[in-house]
Amino acid sequence: MIANYTQKNQLPEEIKAKFDELQVLKHLRQAGIVKSFGFSCGYLFQLVFRLIFTQKNWFRLLESHKAADLPGKDTVYRFLNYPKFAWRRFLLALSVFTITKVSRLTRANHTKVLIVDDSSFYRDRSKKVELLAHCFDHAKKRHYKGFRMLTLGWSDGTTFMPVDFSLLSSSKEKTRINGIDSTIDKRCSGYKRRVEALQTAPEQIPNMVTCSGQRN
């Protein structure tokens, strides 16, 4: 899929053109998502992004004949799970940059709104995921293991652009299956996100709107 010797030419031309136009890798660096050695964060991000179009997960891809040209499983998992990477800052910067481009396609007085979506995020097969909780899906009227996915998005009536997100667990210990990893540095972005996961949606939304408004 992606060979080690072609790290700068990983994506199909039509996707690479959009990556360059939206300055995705620049926003990664500005959010502090960088590595001092080994595979670059830009390379690993594009690798994970391309998985969407292969219809395979990372485990199945490593079982294929292309595995020899790919980084190891632990390399990708460390990249995705590293608690000091500010993924929220990256998403907000990329979204604001993209919204600026999209806004030029509509009139200046065109109505633009922020939309809050609260969806179920199922992890029924998981057992050891941090802050995994018992939740209730009001749409399907059933209990499940996982999180609630709270998403703040921008819309002009035609386009919807996610600006911020938060995975909500449960503030009640009796419905929460796992707690926070005690080894995580309490000063990093990852720990702050875990603490926020224990809040309710009404507690989260004002801060999400305020942060997105300040960036705009």
- Give pLDDT tens digits for 7-40: 545 677 778 888 999 999 999 999 999 988 888 9
CA distance 199 to 57: 31
Kindly report, residue by residue over 101-135, the tens digit of the pLDDT: 998 888 888 889 999 999 999 999 999 999 999 99
Amino acid identity, residue 36? Answer: S
Outline where 65-105 has alpha helix (H).
73-81, 87-103
Whether residue 146 contacts residue 123, with contact meaning beta carbons closer than 8 Å, is answered with: yes
pLDDT tens digits for 140-170?
999 999 999 999 999 998 899 999 999 999 9
8 Å CB contact between 51 and 59:
no
Query: What is the spatial distance between Cα 46 and Cα 7, in angstroms, rounded to a whole number?
Result: 9
Determine the pLDDT at residue 130.
Answer: 94
